[in-house]
Amino acid sequence: MMIKYPHSPRSNKQSLIFGRFNMVARAVSLRELLRCPHSPRSNKQSLIFALVLTLFVGGCGVAIVPKPDQTGEVDLHSNIITKKVGGAAVSVQTQEWQFYPGDLEQYYTPLLLLIKNGTENKLEFAQKFLNLLDSGGNQFQPVPPVEVERTFIDRGYPVSSSAHIGIGSGGYSSFFGFAFNFPFYPSPPPVSDISLLALHEGDILPGATVRGFVYFRKVVPTEGTLKLHLEINQAAEDFYFIVKR
């Protein structure tokens, strides 16, 4: 079984590449790379260095996968654990963020949940019914989507360009005296997928199915286990995962 969402406008590969570049761009400012028009060689070298650093940093990630020996159904191929909780069938999937922003997993641990209400009554879902614990006893609470978005909006991102052609001095002057100015302005990162694809709080009607991402603070350990504790309809169940590099 797969927990699926429509594809993001940007391909998975592009999202990953741009996400990694965004992370490195904070250290290597594009404004500095493009500031001096008279030293193309140094600019080119700096840009190449930034891209190489991007690939190096992006390759040092941590994977969270289901632990095989536990109750319920475990799909190791798709990284899904499915269990019955309070009359609901709950599936939890890891390693599934393929949307905007591409570097979300550098700061948060997103878990994709699918909950199907198999009872004849409404079931309540709230983030307070979830918590994540690592093997060191550290507890992680869900982070509201709006706070996750604020993380990416508030921090520095690469800038986008807009060209302006005018008459006067400065910038790059042509033979006819026209000045080509290329100002660079901050461009807000695309973060709408965070809220659109989140699992929001509320009632789940009888026979209905809801799905969405729940966001936790980034899991720090490079190895060990994780336990997702979930309560529904006064019943509780634990989902176990392995953290590995």
**Per-residue pLDDT, 160:** 44
pTM above threshold 0.95: no
CATH topology of domain 62-154+191-245: Immunoglobulin-like (2.60.40)
Weakest-pLDDT range from 29-43, 93-107, 123-137, 191-205: 29-43
Residue 223 reports pLDDT greater than 70: yes
- Asked if residues 205 and 117 have their Cβ atoms less than 8 Å apart, the reply is yes
- Asked if residues 219 and 138 have their Cβ atoms less than 8 Å apart, the reply is no
Q: Per-residue confidence at 56, pLDDT binned at 50, 70, 90?
A: very low
**Per-residue pLDDT, 119:** 96
> Where do the structural domains in the chain lie, given as residue ranges?
8-60, 62-154+191-245
Return the amino acid letter for 178: F
Cα 222 from Cα 212, distance rounded (Å): 26
Residue 181, token pair as written in the block? 């100015």
Looking at residues 60-72, what average pLDDT do you find?
A: 88
Q: Give per-residue pLDDT as tens, 129-140.
A: 999 999 888 999
Write the DSSP string, 117-175: E-SSS-EEE-GGGEEEEETTS-EE-EE-HHHHHHHHHHS---EEE--EEEESSSSEE-T
Cα 210 from Cα 192, distance rounded (Å): 19
**Per-residue pLDDT, 10:** 45
3-state SS, residue 19: helix
Q: Give per-residue pLDDT as tens, 156-171.
A: 554 444 444 444 444 4
Omega before residue 101 within 30° of 0, cis:
yes
Residue 87 reports pLDDT greater than 90: yes
Return the amino acid letter for 39: S
Residue 183 reports pLDDT greater than 80: no
